[in-house]
Amino acid sequence: MRIRFQSDGGVGYFPGLDGPVIVDTAHLPPEEGARLERLVGAADFFSRPEAADVPAPGAADLRRSTIAIEDGGRSRTLEVIDPVEDSALHALIDALREAGKAARNH
Partner 1 sequence: MHPHQHRHSIFCILPPHMLEEIARSGGPEHREWALQTLAVDSTMRSERVTEQLLRVPTASLATPHKERFIYTANHASTLPGALVRSEAQAATGDAATDEAYDGFGATFDLYWSIFQRNSIDNAGLNLIGTVHYGQNYDNAFWNGSQMVFGDGDGTYFNRFTASIDVIGHELTHGVTGHQANLVYHDQPGALNESVSDVFGSLVKQYAHAPQQTAAQADWLIGEGLFTTAVNGVALRSMKAPGTAYDDKVLGKDPQPAHMSHYVTTTSDNGGVHINSGIPNHAFYLLAVALGGHAWEKAGLIWYTTLCDPRLSSNAQFQDFANLTVDNAGRLFGAAEQQATIDAWQQVGITVTATQPKISGNWVLHYSWGPTQTYSQVGLSFNSNGTFAGGATGKWQQQDGTVLLSFDGGPAKYAGTVDGNIGSGAMSTFGALDGCWYLSKQGMVGLTLSSAGGAPGTIDAAGTEHPEHPAANDRVAELVGAPS
Q: Which residues bind partner 1 (CB under 8 A)?
A: 8-18, 55-63, 82-87, 90-91, 94, 97-98, 101, 104-105
Whether the bond into 83 is cis, omega within 30 of 0: yes
Closest distance of CB 43 from partner 1, Å: 12
CA 79 to CA 12: how far, in whole Å?
A: 20
CA 86 to CA 74: how far, in whole Å?
A: 22
Closest distance of CB 31 from partner 1, Å: 18
**Quick check: 94 and 63 in contact, CB under 8 A?**
no
Closest distance of CB 39 from partner 1, Å: 12
